[in-house]
Amino acid sequence: MAQPATLQVAVVGTGKMGADHVRRIQRVISGARVTAVVDVDAERAKAVAARVEGCTAYTDPAAAMAAADVDAVLIASPGPAHEAALLTAFEHDLPVLCEKPLTPDAASALRVMEAELRLGRRRLQVGFMRRYDAEYMKLKSLLGTGQLGRPLMLHNRHRNVASPPGWRSEMLINDSVVHEMDVTRWLLGHEITAVTVLRPAPSANAPDQMQDPQFVVFETDGGAIVDVEIFVNCGFGYQVQAEVVCERGTARIGDGHAMVTNMAGRWGGTIAQDFVERFADAYDREVQAWVDATRRGEVTGPGVWDGYAVAAVCEAGVRALEEGGRVEVELVERPALYDVS
């Protein structure tokens, strides 16, 4: 049997992330090509389109999605623009890969969910790329074997060299810990039911007024306790680690010990300096998996329900950060469309 035709993708947003996805689709992965790029900045869209044969530049996502040579949409525009773009994609019944966050809050995520429910089938994948990281996949696979028994606790470390300009305390929850929220739900197969944020005395290297680091604790409906150290001005590197503690053993990923040197009185190795370095392979695998599934007419990755649930946990997390104490997470009932098979 022959393979389905090459997937023709419109990439919405041509900033750093969008441009990188264009490069990925054209130069790295198989089975897709970029036929449209969209950006409110027309010059930027044109510049990106010019580097790709047969690619048209647009400023309006709706125009791109209406084009005959567009089969699927990859959304990499800023979060506040996602809802409108997603709803338009649904109107054209186009499959979508949407960079995280799905939308900026739970209410708007719910509106997207309702639109997909009206379509009656899953069309959307959210860009939680850690699910495609080789180490996280190994960890998930090990848990699936049952060798370690039931998961009881999950310890996470999430460290960045320095926060970008303009970052504020709640962004540690919304932009960083958001990944551990998805990882928790996916690895354990639990929903998060409550969030507590503890506030160490901030590092002298954190910007004024920023609560950095934070120590975040999740409770889950499966009875697990999950802790996350988020430290976005740790100074030394980009480091993402996770240890699952189960009834009969533990498993840890993220040590990143590829090459070991002995030099000047020290043994050890280098630490990745940003998420692009750490998760480059995960992005490649994520987009390849999305292209492959889309060509088969399927959605296999995290979807609207995941984007919504994480948005609700973020809202609880930000309240916990601001008010202190433990905040419970409220979720709507999960529609059958999102039942885990």
* Residues from 148 through 167 that contact a copy of itself (CB under 8 A): 148-150, 152-153, 155, 159
Strand ranges across the sheet with 192-198: 239-246, 151-159, 225-231, 214-220, 192-198, 326-328
- DSSP assignment of 46-107 equals HHHHHTSTT-EEES-HHHHHHSTT--EEEE-S-GGGHHHHHHHHHHTT--EEEPSPSSSSHH
Binding of residue 249 to a copy of itself (CB under 8 A): yes
Closest to a copy of itself by CB, 134 or 276: 134
Nearest residue (CB) to a copy of itself, 255 versus 328? 255
Contact flag: residue 200 with a copy of itself (CB under 8 A): yes
Strand partners, 58: 38
Instruction: List Cα–Cα distances, 19 to 16, 122, 236, in angstroms.
Output: 5, 26, 28
Q: Least distance from C-beta 153 to a copy of itself, angstroms?
A: 6
Task: Decide: is 235 part of the binding site for a copy of itself (CB under 8 A).
Answer: yes
Pick the binder of a copy of itself from 107, 119, 225, 276 (CB under 8 A): 225
> Which one of residues 203, 289, 334, 337 is an interface residue with a copy of itself (CB under 8 A)?
203
Helix/strand/coil (H/E/C) assignment for every residue in 300-328 = CCCCHHHHHHHHHHHHHHHHHHHHCCEEE
Gap between the terminal Cα atoms of the chain = 27
Interaction between residue 266 and a copy of itself (CB under 8 A): yes
Say if residues 76 and 17 touch (Cβ distance below 8 Å). Answer: yes
Confirm or reject binding of residue 265 to a copy of itself (CB under 8 A).
yes
Edge-to-edge order in the sheet of strand 7-12: 56-58, 32-38, 7-12, 72-75, 96-98, 124-126
Question: Does residue 256 interact with a copy of itself by CB under 8 A?
Answer: yes
Cβ 104 to a copy of itself shortest distance, Å: 28
Q: Which of 68, 263, 336, 340 binds a copy of itself (CB under 8 A)?
A: 263
Query: Which span (50-58, 82-90, 164-172, 308-316) binds a copy of itself, by CB under 8 A?
Result: 50-58
Candidates 90-98, 170-178, 257-265, 304-312 — which segment interacts with a copy of itself by CB under 8 A? 257-265
Site size for a copy of itself, by CB under 8 A? 78
Closest approach, Cβ 36 to a copy of itself, in A, equals 16
Residue 198 binds a copy of itself, judged by CB under 8 A: yes
DSSP 215: E
